[in-house]
Structure 1
Amino acid sequence: MDKMAKMNQATASRAKVKKASSHFALELNEITKLALPMVLIQLGQVAMTATDLAFIGRIGADSLAAAAVVIRLYFVGLTVGMGLLAAIAPIAAQAFVVDNLRVVRGSVRMGLWTTLPLSLPILVISLRSDQILLAFGQAPDIARLAQQYLFGLAWGVMPALWFTAIRTFMGAVNRPKPALWITLAAIPVNAFLVYLLVFGKFGVPRLELFGAGIATTIVNYGTFLAGVWITMMYRPFHGYHVLAHLWRFDWPLMRQLIVIGTPISIAGLMECGVSSALTLLMGVIGTRALVAHQIAFQVAAILFAIPCGISMAASVRVARAVSRNDGSGIKRAGLAAMLLGIVIVTMLTAVVIAARFYIAKLFLGESVDDADAIVALAAHLLLVGASAFIAATMYSIALGSLRGLKDTRVPLVFAGIAFWLIGVSLSYVLGLTGGLGGIGVWMGLSIGTTVYAALLILRFQLLASRFVLQSRYFPQGYNVVRPQRLNL
């Protein structure tokens, strides 16, 4: 009898493991299908920035260094708006599961409204950036060139944020592909406009850095208008009537958007501020270090686009599991997303390490002074930053999973500790006072990133485990929104 009981128990255990494996495989398949367009969208955005830098690098090392500074400052402001808009994903995804049209539509509308008060100060600061850069010890020539770039770039902040709101909505309702087609179409258009305006081809005056900024602004307006057209004209998006009656405010939803999104914005601002701080530290070390840093950072940005897209998919999948009161589904979504991101980025990191010298050469023209020294330093930075690429993948996906749980305040505290208290401090000590230069700066960055990843993973595991216990005791769960059927 004991032997029979043990056999039955073993059979039940195997069946349970097989069922769990089947559910995990299904979740991995679902998150891959959702994440792929989002990853490609992120890569498309990075590809446009990389195209700009590739053309600007042909002008000269000073122009490329100025572009490095501009991109960091520009994205500091842009990140604030994107953080608030990131709250659309969990709100709209949970409402989508229960077919609550009002909440889906209202979250997008309120997201569009929040961009207006944010865009104006970003624009004003961008137009006065030369004084800011001089105050932070940047060379006068670099500050002057950076200001030229921002004069063209700053006007595209608002349409860039508007398009972000639209593509976040598309992902939340499980239809991210139209945003992908828009982004893919924008890549060659951006390349042509940058080439045309930077070098003055086909009778157009040579505008150099100002032309690169204008090209990006034109593309931002184009992608936004294309997103609006698809949202209004094509199924299933037009059934949500997202842009109808835009003047009607939903104050509870606006409050929820701000409560969830503000910590995301501040955490993103801290993260982006770290990038800017490290760029400024590199500028203090020298122009050669600044250019090498920008090359390495651009490669890192390409790699980071992959976990960033997976993170968005994880946020949506976790939010849907929360709406179903599925505690095990929350854990599966986070784990499947983490596994997917780590496998992909680890393989790509190995490729980057192997081809680091060749990759660095792609960003510099033959006429650039000290090209060989810049390439060698950039290659060393890529080697030092390899561990940071893996850690950044882990923290990005864990962060997206926590956003699906609407947990954004504690990650904000973690960002302050890991990035500023540890990362920037070590970068300054190792890079400037320790005499390691750019290598030391990147060592500090790698350590801070690893600490942040560990803290976020532990936080997600804790909250997911709590939710599993809650779902066992309250299997019916609860909904804070009343369903409204949407027939599409």
Structure 2
Amino acid sequence: MTYGAHVRAVAVLGLPLVGGHLAQFAIGLTDTVMLGWYGVEALAAVTLASSFFFVLFLFGGGFGLAVMPMVATAAAEEDETSIRRSTRMGMWLSLLYGLLVMPLLWWSYPILIATKQDPQVAQTASDYLRVAGWGLFPALLVMVLKSYLAALERTQVVLWITVAAAVVNGLTNYALIFGNWGAPELGVMGAAIASVVTQTVSLVAVIVYALRVLPQHNLFQRFWRPDWEMLFNVLKLGVPIGLTMLAEVSLFATSAFMMGWIGEVPLAAHGIALNLASATFMVHLGLSNAATIRAGNALGRRDRAHLEKGAITVIGMSLAVSVLTITLFLTCAEPLISLFLEPDDPQRPDILAIGVGLLAMAALFQLVDGAQVIALGLLRGLQDAKVPMVMAGLSYWVVGIPASYYFGFIRGMDGIGVWLGLVLGLASAAVLLMTRFWTRSVKAVGVPAE
């Protein structure tokens, strides 16, 4: 294939995935915007709660992401039995994981207090998690089934199901947070209920599609029967992926805790800036998923040349997105942040002042953030997860978090210093993971993996 053909193939596969991630992001963005209108304390509490929730969710999501390269490789080998087995055991592991961590969501208050958060903010966040936490089960199953569909290149349906979920979330939030359309005004608790409703609707939609359009896979037939061999295969790949995701999301969650130490207004500004940075990250994440699927297919066909050209293509596309978003963040910071705030909010000037500086830092890490997630996508496609897990852990925990604390508090740079640590952690990951892919992993295609 020519590079032009690779660009078209990545676009056809990746753009619906990008759209799906943006729609998923819109669900969190809706919560942030509406709660920002409701009050700064509510916004700060849900920013804290969401960081806590996603630490647990994304680790469990490793099982869903493990299904993606396994199904893509099995599809290239025309092995429908392995497609069914890996997807089913991905769902098993997701449910088991949800049962294990649900107590952490239910009794989150002492954990949040232990991180030295404001007691009132921590209490509100804990109340939110006691309701929103039940959405963990459908959310994890949805991740598995979306990965299964995406690996089979059915990315359009992934997009439309997620868009529908975003609409449901927006309408439910509007009704329950503010008490519109005859509903009770529940504030933060309304956002929590909307989250659970949204995840449940998504799960029902994706199950109905899988059963009607792909009945040959019989995903739920004799679902109760264990498949120990495949369960351990998914576990072996999913745990390193989950730990890698945990390392990265913990970097950002820890930054939220550090911003909470500085104050409620900096934490609210952090939540807004992080939402804006996350929106652009969704584009890189969609390209990364496309890279995983195409690398998995190349592995199944033992086609190294296809893998290398495809990798160069997706890296170039990610770089182009980074250049555009850097320009946007540096030239339009104040109008973007203003979207999240009421015009007459007395804290608006302070949040704007802090947020503009944080968004400038977000512009700095666009290149390295995109590079590290693309490298991870390529490595996952080749089912290379253990060494990348160690590299990510070192980058985020040994470089990123200590640097955030050092520059934020010891050097007295406050929020800017905390975000500088994020930049350094992501840069370290980008260099290590790209080096791993090009010097080791790509050469394993055609021979047994390490």
Please tell me the TM-score bracket, short chain as reference. over 0.9
> Which residue is 2:57 aligned to?
78
2:329 pairs with 1:362: no
Identity %: 31
Correspondence 1:305-316 to 2 at 5 A: 305-316=282-293
- Picking from 122, 127, 148, the partner of 2:127 is 148
State the SS of the aligned residue for 2:2.
Answer: helix
CA 1:30–1:49 in 2, change beyond 3 Å: closer, same or farther?
same
Assess if the C-alpha contact under 8 Å between 1:151 and 1:210 holds in 2.
no
What's the TM-score, normalizing by structure 1? 0.90
> Hey, what's the Cα distance between the residues in 2 that align with 1:85 and 1:131?
30
Assess if the C-alpha contact under 8 Å between 1:285 and 1:432 holds in 2.
no
> Which residue is 2:43 aligned to?
64
Correspondence 1:65-464 to 2 at 5 A: 65-234=44-213, 237-464=214-441
> Which residue is 2:19 aligned to?
40
- Code of the residue aligned with 2:23 in structure 1: it is G
State the SS of the aligned residue for 1:308.
Answer: helix
State the SS of the aligned residue for 1:52.
Answer: helix
Over residues 446-478 of structure 1, what are the superposed CA-to-partner deviations in whole Å (9 max), with x where a residue is unaligned?
01111110111111001255236xx4xxxxx68
- Code of the residue aligned with 1:402 in structure 2: it is L
> Which residue is 2:10 aligned to?
31
- Code of the residue aligned with 1:304 in structure 2: it is F
> Hey, what's the Cα distance between the residues in 2 that align with 1:380 and 1:344?
21
Assess if the C-alpha contact under 8 Å between 1:150 and 1:210 holds in 2.
no
Over residues 346-385 of structure 1, what are the superposed CA-to-partner deviations in whole Å (9 max), with x where a residue is unaligned?
2123112211101111111234332111111111111122
State the SS of the aligned residue for 1:87.
Answer: helix
Assess if the C-alpha contact under 8 Å between 1:414 and 1:452 holds in 2.
yes
Over residues 390-439 of structure 1, what are the superposed CA-to-partner deviations in whole Å (9 max), with x where a residue is unaligned?
21111001100001111101111111211111111111011011100000
- Code of the residue aligned with 1:109 in structure 2: it is R
> Which residue is 1:4 aligned to?
none
Moved more, 309-318 or 381-390: 381-390
State the SS of the aligned residue for 1:247.
Answer: coil
> Hey, what's the Cα distance between the residues in 2 that align with 1:134 and 1:116?
28
Correspondence 1:2-41 to 2 at 5 A: 23-41=2-20
> Hey, what's the Cα distance between the residues in 1 that align with 2:212 and 2:180?
36
> Hey, what's the Cα distance between the residues in 2 that align with 1:289 and 1:316?
39
Over residues 228-277 of structure 1, what are the superposed CA-to-partner deviations in whole Å (9 max), with x where a residue is unaligned?
1111112xx22222222212222221111111111111111111111111
> Hey, what's the Cα distance between the residues in 2 that align with 1:277 and 1:179?
31
Structure whose alpha-carbon radius of gyration is higher: 1
State the SS of the aligned residue for 1:144.
Answer: helix
CA-CA distance at 1:23 after TM superposition: 2.3
CA-CA distance at 1:137 after TM superposition: 0.6
Unmatched tracts of structure 1, length 5 or more: 1-21, 472-476, 480-488
> Hey, what's the Cα distance between the residues in 2 that align with 1:159 and 1:143?
25
> Hey, what's the Cα distance between the residues in 2 that align with 1:366 and 1:213?
26
> Hey, what's the Cα distance between the residues in 2 that align with 1:438 and 1:465?
39
- Code of the residue aligned with 2:17 in structure 1: it is M
Over residues 13-34 of structure 1, what are the superposed CA-to-partner deviations in whole Å (9 max), with x where a residue is unaligned?
xxxxxxxxx5222222111111
Assess if the C-alpha contact under 8 Å between 2:176 and 2:194 holds in 1.
yes
State the SS of the aligned residue for 2:138.
Answer: helix
> Hey, what's the Cα distance between the residues in 2 that align with 1:87 and 1:239?
22
Assess if the C-alpha contact under 8 Å between 2:384 and 2:441 holds in 1.
no
> Hey, what's the Cα distance between the residues in 2 that align with 1:158 and 1:342?
35
Assess if the C-alpha contact under 8 Å between 1:314 and 1:397 holds in 2.
yes
- Code of the residue aligned with 1:49 in structure 2: it is G
State the SS of the aligned residue for 1:58.
Answer: helix
CA-CA distance at 1:338 after TM superposition: 1.0
CA 1:241–1:402 in 2, change beyond 3 Å: closer, same or farther?
same
Over residues 111-156 of structure 1, what are the superposed CA-to-partner deviations in whole Å (9 max), with x where a residue is unaligned?
1101112112332111211211111110111112112221221111
> Hey, what's the Cα distance between the residues in 2 that align with 1:384 and 1:271?
17
Q: CA RMSD in A?
A: 1.5
> Hey, what's the Cα distance between the residues in 1 that align with 2:100 and 2:233?
23
> Hey, what's the Cα distance between the residues in 1 that align with 2:167 and 2:204?
17
> Hey, what's the Cα distance between the residues in 2 that align with 1:466 and 1:229?
40
Assess if the C-alpha contact under 8 Å between 1:316 and 1:404 holds in 2.
yes
- Code of the residue aligned with 2:287 in structure 1: it is I
Q: How many residues align?
A: 449
Over residues 70-99 of structure 1, what are the superposed CA-to-partner deviations in whole Å (9 max), with x where a residue is unaligned?
110010010111112111111111110121
- Code of the residue aligned with 2:353 in structure 1: it is A
Assess if the C-alpha contact under 8 Å between 1:197 and 1:208 holds in 2.
yes
